[in-house]
Structure formats: structure tokens, C-alpha cells
Amino acid sequence: MTSTAESHGNDDECPLNGIRVLEVSTTQAARIAGQLLADLGADVVRAVDAPPDQAFPSEPAEVWWDRGKRLVTWGSDEIRNAIREADVLFVDHTPAGLAAAQLRADDVQARSPGLTHVWMPPYAASGRWAELDEDPLLLDAVGGVAGRYPCVEDRPVAPVVATTTLLHGALGAGSAVAGLVGRNGTGAGYTAVVSGVHAAATQMATMMIEGVDEPVFSPGRSVRSLPFWRMYQASDGQWFFLATLTPDLFFRALDALDRMDILVLPEVGGEFTNLMVVGSPGVRAVEHELESLFATEPCSHWIGIFAAADVPCAPVRTRAEWAVGDIVAANHGMTTIEHDVLGEVNMPDVPIAFSRSRVRAPRAAVVEKTRAPEVWPRRNRTTDAVAPSVRRPLAGIRVIDAATFLAAPLVASLLADHGAEVIKVEPRNGDPYRAFTLSFIAANQRKRGVALDLGTEPGRGALLDLVRRADVLVENLRPGRLHKLGVGPEVLRCERPELVQCTVSAYGRAGDYATAPGFDPVFQSLSGMAAAQGGDAQPLAAPMPAHDTCTGALGALGVLAALYQRGTTGVGQQVWASLASTSIFLQGSELTAYAGRPEPQRGGVDYPGPAEGHRFYACADGWIAVAAVGAARTTALLRAFGIGDLTEVESTLATRTVDDALGLLAGHGVPACRAVEQQGALEDPFLRENRFSHVVTDPQFGRLRMVRAFVEWAEGDDDIPGRSFTVGEDTREVLDELGYPDDRIDEVSGGRRTVQEQESRGRTS
């Protein structure tokens, strides 16, 4: 299926037209980062040390990873010469490899002071596993992702889709463009480190939370989950996911089923909190009732009932069904390119869209024999010295986050990590996601909070006043809701022409589904991801919000591209991101198709990995991940343990300690690492060494250890502290900054004062 060309344009219509990107890469993540910038119009030159084999790519997805690029074979001298004319440099070496190649920021920025240097180490900048070759299985092991997948036996589970690696690429791309935005204001270059561990931190931010003073609730890993958030099987054997995340949504589902009586079962007693612990009496009772009910009718019957009631729910489909389905078609999600050797290649299209800009029509990579001096014309550079920036690249950018739940607020959270000031606007009863207090804190820890009733004139007026002084608005309201409130895109453009508005939705902008609600597991189910993870057994939806987090990263990338282009045009525009488009992107490797390509992998319950030499293994005192990929490393694996066949690895490792096994594997050059388990994950020495977490204090829960950052910048504060805030805690402070007198602030806030404000007034009266 070929996408329509409505979003494709000439290079001069693309937001990154004229930007020169040098990509010195071998990893998937860095190649995806380069691909995304090429899609946005940048001239991306990927330098490799051996001519690429276009006829027989080692991975089918290589055609997708490198689309839109120029591929050159250069040595170190030519790479250093090309850096002088580049705007962005992507490097993905391990720490030792980066030093040996003399491609550290300090090595190159003296000769190219306006360069944005983005280092994307496969794992981290230091520590025991930092020198391992990139492998998605190993990253999910060290980042704690595999230790959170649903399982029957308590063990790490291998994801069949490399969502953490794809997210790593999206984060790297966004950081590169953030540096370009910063350079628009300062003229200086920027230095970012975006590691594999940062990607794991982003994906796991709402799940990896530990109480310092008191234990806090941690969800289990059962394949059954909770009755309002799990897979069910219908009478025809088909599965569907019921995604009623909040009590109101679950009550709506029960009402649609005419089964509100379930709430007064003796084990439930009318308390939704009795449904929050897997395996509890209330959970078992409700599951029994719903499983019995859903087994009486086919899947289509239940999907129809829930769709009519606006209840988030989705049938389980295969990847093939998803790729040719109406949701993908409505979002122009797939495109076709012509490859000189492979012929017609079907692949995902660009996952974000713009109201003014266009994206580049995808095209196959071009292999060139161009030498470094000829790759880009030499620019006339000013001889005036540019002082290095002392602040992060988005310092001075103000973002209004008027979104709820997770995907859209994460757009603003990522911008905050790049240095933006973020003000979160909530209704007076708060973001519904506050029902999950700890996750809300983790996702919003670098924002100030304002409460407004947008159903009133004072509330709408205050929102417009905030927008008039803002650079970015992030929202995920249903289509038409802003118009009804009187603050639609036309009004916003009139009030603030420079505004970049990011709209995040579930199903995208087009089709019959445009107004439907949806959460992460809805798209795991629809897209074939859950079916692939479950293999021949029950479909399995991962608990970590891969779609939400990657939609946040892609939405932030779109915002940053629009901000960069605004530096040239002076005007803003609207940016669209959706869970549906992200679901296509996340399975880009699996959905890239051409005649003769091998079938993508499928998993199973407690899936250990794709091959005997590439999987999780139990040792006497824990689990390890092994990545003996290829004949040479398979032979090395066998030699490490003195065995003759891969079928002997499992029994051999079962009697050895983790450290003993890893020592032998390292001595024979086989990449392997310890798998981080769910309990105590934030205390893992490798994660602690790389500053994976920090402590945030909450009035209710005390000190909480949670994920710290999604990127490291050499510029600005070394660490931005996190905070927990109550609904509207900063309303008075923010409106006072707008020049509102006290009586008007009282009118907007309904006269309510936070506990902090009341205490302050008591001290000053």
C-alpha cells in the first residue's frame, strides 16, 4: 500500500531543509535517529568503514533504517574533515571506541563550534556493561525492561519487538534538533548524551518507582493482570483487550454490559480499590464473572458494545492485518519505495505530520563514492568567537501542557529535560492520571501546576493569556473540543502566530476512529504486537507503555522541528502525533517487507529469546542475557563452557553463578550481562553508576526513588531536580507572573488556595 503524497513535499518545504547531518554509526538506534532527521528534510550522510552490501542487507530493516541517506565509505581523516561542515554529528561508539576514534565532543567541537554533538552509546557512558556491542536483548536486560514483562515463571522475558531501541533512536533525533533550536538563539553548539539506559528510563519511568521511607505498591507480572485492564477470550476463540484504565471508564464498561451488579459482589463491596491487586478475592471474583460473560458471544459482539459506549477496547490482530487495515490507511502509515536490488519495498511512512511543513518522500539510500571535501560545499563562517552556552538548548522556551494521561504529557516532559519551562494546566479535579499517583509524579516531575476550569470564561481567558506568552501548546483533547471551548487552532494562531501546537491522539487525524479513545495496550493488540509476543499461546500485552513513551518522543521531535523552522519563518504551526502512527513506527523492522524477506520472530509465554545462543538463561543465583549472534560467537560460546552443542548451554549455566558465567563469556568475546530483576531494580550497581534514578519528595509518600533524566546535556545545570505538586499548586504564582491582581486570581481559581498558600498567608498576616 502506497501512502498518499499529501504530507510529502520538496526539500525546501521540510523543516530541516539545509541541515547537514554526519552519522558515524553501526547501531540500530543511531541509524533510526538519522533516518528520522532525513525524513524531516536533513541531508544525512552515513559514514561506514566498509562498502555497504545493498544486495543482501544483514537485517531486512536496514533498508528502512537508512532510507533517505547518502552512504559513504570513509576513514577517520575524512570523517574529521566532514565534521567541519556538519550541523549535527551522531556517534554511537562505546566509551572506549569513542575515545579511540577521537570523536568525543572535546575532540571535534573546537574545529566546529556550532556543531550539535549527539553521542548515543548502546548502553551507557560508563560501567560494567558499557563496552558491550549493541543488542536489543541485552539493553532490555540491563535496563530492567525484560524483568517487567508478564510471565508464568518469575523470570526475564525477551520482547519480540525492540521498542527500547526504537525509542533510543527517537530520543537521539529529538536531542539533535533541540541542539539546533538552541543554536538558533545562541549561535553555539551543544553536546548531548542519549544512551540506551536513557531509553530504558523513558520507557520505564512510570513503573520503576521505589519508596525510600516506606514501601510503595509495585504491580506484579501475572499474564492475567487486573479485571479492568487485561485480555479476555470470546466464544469464537478470539481475544480482545479491555483497556478501562480509570474507575469511570470501567463503570462505563459495566453499564454497557448491564452488569453494574458486579461492583456489589461481596468480594468487591462497592470499592474499586478492591480490584487493584492481582490475585485478590475481589479481582478473582470479577474476573470469573467477566470471563464467563465474554465466553457467551463472539469477539465482534463485545467490540460493538464497547465501541457504542465509547469504551477503550480492541481485538487482537496480526501484523499483516494491521498493515493493510483501515486505521493504517487512514493515517497514510505505509509507503513503498523502489530499491535497485530488492525491488518494491513496503515500509512505514513518517510517523509525525505538520500543518505547514512537509516531510520528505521516503526513498532508498544512495551509495556514493564522494570524498569528504566534496560531500558538502564549504560554508562562509564568521570569524567572531561564539561563547559556549551555559544553559540547556531550550532555555527560554515556555511550554503549556494542557494534556492528560501519559503520551501527550510526555511530549512536554521531554522538552523540560531539554531546558524548557513547562506549565501543566489541569482541570480543577485534576488530570485523571492522578489516580496513579506515583506514575503521575514520575511523568510530570519537572513542571509547575495550574488548575483552570476551561468551561468558564475566566478559565478560558487565563489559558489564552498563558498561550500568548508561550512557544508551545501540547494537548490531547478530542477533535472539536478546543473549538467548542472557543480556543481552536484558528483562535490560537490569531492570538499567538508563533505558537507551535502539538496535538496527540489515539487513532490519528483521519477515519472513523478519529474520535475514539485508546490506550497503549489497545494498539499492542490491534497492531499484532501482542499476538507476536504471545506466539502460539495467549496474546500478551506488555505492561510498560511503549506506545505512550515513543509517541511522547516523536511528538517532541515534531515540536522541536517546528521550533527550529520557526527560527527561519517566524511563524509556528500544528504538529500531529498519535499512538496509531507510533505503533507503525515501533514495528518498522517487522513491517518492512519485500519479496523473499524472512518472517519476523514470534514469541511465546515466558519467551527466552530468538535462538539458543541469543536468549536469557538461568544461573545458580540469577539470570543472564547472552547474545552469541553469528557463527564465530556461537563457536566462542561453546568453547567458553567446553561443550559441543547449544542444547547443553542451559544445563551448564544452571550450575554456575552469574559472575562465573559472565567472566567466562567475556573472556571468549561473547556479549552477555546480568538481567536486572523487578525487585530492587533501582539499586542495580550499573544503573546507579549511570545516575539512572534520583529522589523526589512527595507529601503523602515521602521520599521516592524514580527515574531521573531522559538525556544528559553538557550545557546548563548538571541535574534538574524533580518535584511533586498538587492540583493547581502553582496557579497563584503563575497567574501573578502574568500580572493578574489577587481578585482576578481568586476568580480564575475559584477562590481556592493550596495548603502552601494558606500557610504562607498565615506567616505574613
Confidence grade of residue 55 (pLDDT, cut at 50, 70, 90): low
**What average pLDDT does the segment 16-29 reach?**
98
The rounded radius of gyration (Å) of the Cα atoms in the chain is: 26
CA distance 202 to 406: 12
Element (H or E) spanning 142, and its range? helix 136-142
**What average pLDDT does the segment 444-455 reach?**
97
Question: Between 46 and 5, where is the model more confident?
Answer: 46
Q: What are phi and psi of 227, to 5 degrees?
A: -65, -25
CA distance 335 to 345: 8
Bridge partners, 360 (sequence order): 9
**What average pLDDT does the segment 488-516 reach?**
91
Which of these ranges, 3-7, 438-442, 487-491, has the smallest mean pLDDT?
3-7
For residue 615, the model assigns a pLDDT of 99
CA distance 715 to 79: 25
Question: Per residue in 550-574, pLDDT tens?
Answer: 999 999 999 999 999 999 999 999 9
For residue 734, the model assigns a pLDDT of 98
Residue recorded with cell 526504537 = 166
CA distance 143 to 199: 8
Sign of CA dihedral 339, 27, 627, 320: negative
Nearest one of 205, 243, 147, 53 to 708, comparing CA atoms: 205
Confidence grade of residue 278 (pLDDT, cut at 50, 70, 90): confident
Contact 264, 280 (CB under 8 A): no
For residue 385, the model assigns a pLDDT of 64
For residue 380, the model assigns a pLDDT of 76
For residue 153, the model assigns a pLDDT of 92
In sequence order, what DSSP letters do the residues of 510-545 get, joined into one string?
SSTTTT----HHHHHHHTSHHHHHHTTSS----SS-
**What average pLDDT does the segment 325-346 reach?**
94
Question: Per residue in 102-154, pLDDT tens?
Answer: 999 999 988 898 999 999 999 999 999 999 999 999 999 999 999 999 999 99
Q: How far is CA 418 from CA 2, 174, 422, 557, in A?
A: 36, 9, 11, 12
Q: Name residues whose C-beta falls within 8 Å of residue 61's C-beta, 6 or more positions apart in sequence.
A: 28, 588, 589, 590, 592
Domains parsed from the chain with CATH numbers: 14-210+367-389 (3.40.50.10540), 246-311 (no CATH)
pLDDT above 70: residue 681: yes
Which of these ranges, 52-61, 73-82, 211-220, 734-743, has the smallest mean pLDDT?
52-61
Nearest one of 24, 26, 28, 21 to 61, comparing CA atoms: 28
pLDDT above 60: residue 19: yes
For residue 228, the model assigns a pLDDT of 97
**What average pLDDT does the segment 449-462 reach?**
95
Confidence grade of residue 199 (pLDDT, cut at 50, 70, 90): very high
For residue 509, the model assigns a pLDDT of 77
Which of these ranges, 4-13, 308-317, 350-359, 429-438, has the smallest mean pLDDT?
4-13
pLDDT above 90: residue 60: no
For residue 54, the model assigns a pLDDT of 56
Q: How far is CA 710 from CA 178, 227, 721, in A?
A: 13, 32, 13
Which grid cell is 417? 529535560
pLDDT above 90: residue 511: no
In sequence order, what DSSP letters do the residues of 606-667 get, joined into one string?
T---SBTTEEEEEETTEEEEEE--SHHHHHHHHHHHT-SSGGGHHHHHHTS-HHHHHHHHHH
Q: What are phi and psi of 109, to 5 degrees?
A: -75, -20
Threshold 0.85, pTM exceeds: yes
In sequence order, what DSSP letters do the residues of 325-341 get, joined into one string?
SHHHHHTT-EEEEEETT
pLDDT above 80: residue 760: no
For residue 138, the model assigns a pLDDT of 99
For residue 423, the model assigns a pLDDT of 99
**What average pLDDT does the segment 627-632 reach?**
97
Please state, as a whole number, how many other Cβ atoms lie within 10 Å of the Cβ of residue 764: 6
Q: How far is CA 568 from CA 306, 384, 399, 498, 587, in A?
A: 47, 22, 20, 11, 34
Confidence grade of residue 522 (pLDDT, cut at 50, 70, 90): very high
Q: Across all residues in the chain, what is the average pLDDT?
A: 94
pLDDT above 70: residue 6: no
For residue 162, the model assigns a pLDDT of 98
Contact 427, 460 (CB under 8 A): no
Tell me which amino acid residue 477 is.
Answer: L
CA distance 678 to 715: 33
Confidence grade of residue 758 (pLDDT, cut at 50, 70, 90): very low
For residue 514, the model assigns a pLDDT of 83
Contact 470, 398 (CB under 8 A): yes
For residue 384, the model assigns a pLDDT of 62
Contact 357, 572 (CB under 8 A): no
Please state, as a whole number, how many other Cβ atoms lie within 10 Å of the Cβ of residue 198: 30
pLDDT above 90: residue 759: no
**What average pLDDT does the segment 585-613 reach?**
95
For residue 752, the model assigns a pLDDT of 58
pLDDT above 70: residue 604: yes
Confidence grade of residue 424 (pLDDT, cut at 50, 70, 90): very high
Bridge partners, 623 (sequence order): 618
Which grid cell is 348? 512505514
Which grid cell is 395? 532555555
Question: Between 170 and 515, where is the model more confident?
Answer: 170
Question: Per residue in 744-757, pLDDT tens?
Answer: 999 998 765 554 54
Q: What are phi and psi of 539, to 5 degrees?
A: -60, 145
For residue 646, the model assigns a pLDDT of 97
